Amino acid sequence: MFGRKLKILSLAVLLICSTSKLFALEEYVSEIYKQIDTCFANKDEAKLNSLLSKNTTDRYYYLMENYTQKKIRRLIVNNDYDFAMAATLIVIENNLDNEEAVEMYSVISDAYEIQRKHEAELEYQRQLELARIEKEKEKQRGNVEKEYVSASKSSGGAVYVAGKETKLTSTNWQLKLGMADVAYLFSKSESGDISSFHYGVSGEFNYKYTMENKNVIGADAFIGAQFLALADEDKIVPLLMDGELALKYAFGRLSKNFFIRAGFNAIITGKSKTAPLTAGVMENFYSPFVGIKLDGLSLGSVKLNFGADWLAGHLFDKNIKAAAGVAMNIGIPFAELEKVKLNFNIGVKDKFFLTQGGLENRASVILAIGVENVVR
């Protein structure tokens, strides 16, 4: 009976001692685990290496090693390859016989390379997208600079204050005074050929208004008279006059310089009792017309105008088969004031008629001084 009690007592003491050692072991290893957690949380390579290296001779080092590898696997799952590779190298350096760690490093290295290439491709695509966006911004900025007037800021940069198409001044007018309007008349008919030069003066007024929708509406008016002629006594035409009035319209989104015109033209050939109309020269001609005009084309500071018209009046005159007119003007600025600017104009006008018995051409060169409002 006593022997049985002694045996039970011995087993109890042994169990207590074993449990005490187990608790001591769990407490010791748990402390190491906590330190490993801290190393991974802070990604502290030096502290992790120090922690493992000083415990490589510990009988429970394999537990510390296994826990470290478990933490590494979690990093792999989260695609955190940088510290995973560093931690794996630390494990291998402290235990070169750890084949699992060596294989893990190889897997991490391959996965890291794939991720690096993927990230490089994503970065390349991102740069392409940024370049596309920047190009689009530059395009939009170019459109803004074309469409708007900018004002510089004291801090640098610019602020856009008004549209260029609508302009701060929506109207543009120009007056030209032709100090010399030299015409050349050539007529070929059954009565013979006639050619003569004529000197006179002219006046022209042009007006344009830019609407809110960017379309431009305007009007042109011209009158010229040549009263001095140089020709044979029996072939003198005492007076040549030319006048026109036209409305014009431009679709601003297409071109603010390309106009469609429609109006009325009058060509008057003078005669008197002492100087009757020379035979073969066309008499007065009145005609509606339609045409096109390129108005205000810029060649640097020089402005160019060009137009062509079809004179429909020949449909009502049996003696004229066809009639047309062209005009061109070059404006060269030479002075600008606050509200107006002055320019020198060289213009050419030509009216051509195909008649039943031949043809007639009236061409003139005009030298004029122009004044127009300053468009801001």
* Range among 132-146, 151-165, 264-278, 337-351 with highest mean pLDDT value: 337-351
Q: What angle do CA 272, 277, 278 make, to 5 degrees?
A: 145
Alpha carbon 138 to its chain's center: 7
Quote the mean pLDDT of the chain. Answer: 82
Contact 292, 307 (CB under 8 A): yes
What pairs with residue 352 in β-bridges?
Answer: 324, 361
Alpha carbon 6 to its chain's center: 103
d(CA 125, CA 166): 41
- pLDDT, residue 13, reads 43
- pLDDT, residue 50, reads 87
- pLDDT, residue 272, reads 52
| Residue 195 structure tokens | 């050619």
For the residues 48-53, what does the mean pLDDT come to?
Answer: 86
d(CA 193, CA 53): 120
| Residue 361 pLDDT class (50, 70, 90 cuts) | very high
- Whether the per-residue pLDDT at 35 is higher than 90: the answer is no
The single-letter code of the amino acid at 39 is: C
Q: pLDDT tens-digit profile of 279-323?
A: 556 788 999 999 999 998 988 889 999 999 999 998 988 888 999
What is the C-alpha end-to-end distance of the chain, expressed in Å?
Answer: 124
